[in-house]
Amino acid sequence: MNTIVVKNYDEMAKKGAEILYQDISSNPKITLGLATGGTQIGVYTHLRKLHENTPLDLKDITTFNLDEYIGLAPESDNSYHFYMNKYFFQPMGISKKQTYLPNGLAEDIAEECKRYEKLIVEHGGIDIQVLGVGSNGHIGFNEPKTSFHCRTHEVNLAESTIQANARYFDSIEDVPKKAISMGIETIMEAKKIILFASGSKKAKAIYQLLRTDEIDADWPVTILKTHPNVTIVVDEAAYNSDDNNQHLNLENSRTIF
């Protein structure tokens, strides 16, 4: 596990964009697994700037998103379809035919989950999976106590996740209570995983990931310890808690300040 610690959110976003830029540049037919949320906005913004300065060949890349709310239309400004079009697909000039997201309006959610899994397999799996992490340790929308062996599935969102996402909606009552998410086993099959974390609210999850060898279903993010190719890009606020400073073993990590 390679850990990169930077000063603040903007530095995290810049470093993340540089890593993604290099990965895409080295494999023009790459399949990206993409995440949404506030943490990723800066990463995608800086990636666009790098692309504008020295354009990438994007005509053959493919993208799969981690998740989508159930019940939101793609054109809803709180859907992840809308988010991806705004922050990634349109600014990067990526055709919609190259992109895949779960259909949150599917009549049969179970069948939609199977369809999405099949599409990932048909495209040869995910080369690079981008992840954020929730304050409760969720990855994708895989909440605490989710089976490490689950595939793409319907999720009942934890109250803490609903509270965290309420800032994007007019009221907390408007936040969807369910979502479709890639499962943990699906995520772990990616050839490489890059996790971004910023801010003190993520410190406990980062502590759980880095402090010991324990794999704990109460903290889904800890399963990443078992993946052979993980890079964590984290700012000081998420990294520097008293517990982290006392317990982190950085023998296999790289730290940048």
Residue showing tokens 């803490």: 160
Predicted local distance difference test score (pLDDT) of residue 211 = 80
| pLDDT tens profile 190-245 | 999 999 999 999 999 999 999 868 999 999 999 999 999 999 999 999 998 654 44
Neighbours of 246 (CB within 10 A): 9
Residue ranges for the chain with pLDDT beneath 50: 243-254, 256-257
Residue 169: C-alpha distances to residues 101, 163, 191 (Å):
21, 10, 34
Gap between the Cα atoms of 105 and 132, Å rounded: 24
Gap between the Cα atoms of 99 and 65, Å rounded: 8
Query: What predicted TM-score, i.e. pTM, was given to this entire model?
Result: 0.92
Gap between the Cα atoms of 219 and 170, Å rounded: 29
Residue among 65, 85, 136, 142 flagged as catalytic: 136
Residue among 11, 68, 112, 143 flagged as catalytic: 143
Question: Is 149 a known active-site residue?
Answer: no
Question: Is 51 a known active-site residue?
Answer: no
Residue among 11, 46, 51, 67 flagged as catalytic: 67
Question: 3-class SS at 237?
Answer: helix
Gap between the Cα atoms of 113 and 136, Å rounded: 24
The answer to whether the CB of 163 falls within 8 A of the CB of 68 is: no
Q: Is residue 199 left, alpha or beta, with left meaning phi > 0 and alpha meaning psi from -120 to 50?
A: left
Question: Is 143 a known active-site residue?
Answer: yes
Residue 16: C-alpha distances to residues 34, 130, 151, 191, 233 (Å):
13, 10, 27, 17, 7
Gap between the Cα atoms of 114 and 47, Å rounded: 32
Residue among 138, 142, 165, 235 flagged as catalytic: 138
Question: Is 107 a known active-site residue?
Answer: no
User: Which pairs count as long-range contacts for 103-107, CB under 8 Å and 24+ apart, including other chains?
Assistant: 103/68, 103/180, 104/68, 104/69, 104/70, 104/71, 104/72, 104/73, 104/79, 104/176, 104/179, 104/180, 105/71, 105/72, 105/73, 105/74
Tokens of 90: 């349109």
Please state the domain extents for the chain.
2-246
Question: 2-246 adopts what CATH topology?
Answer: Rossmann fold (3.40.50)
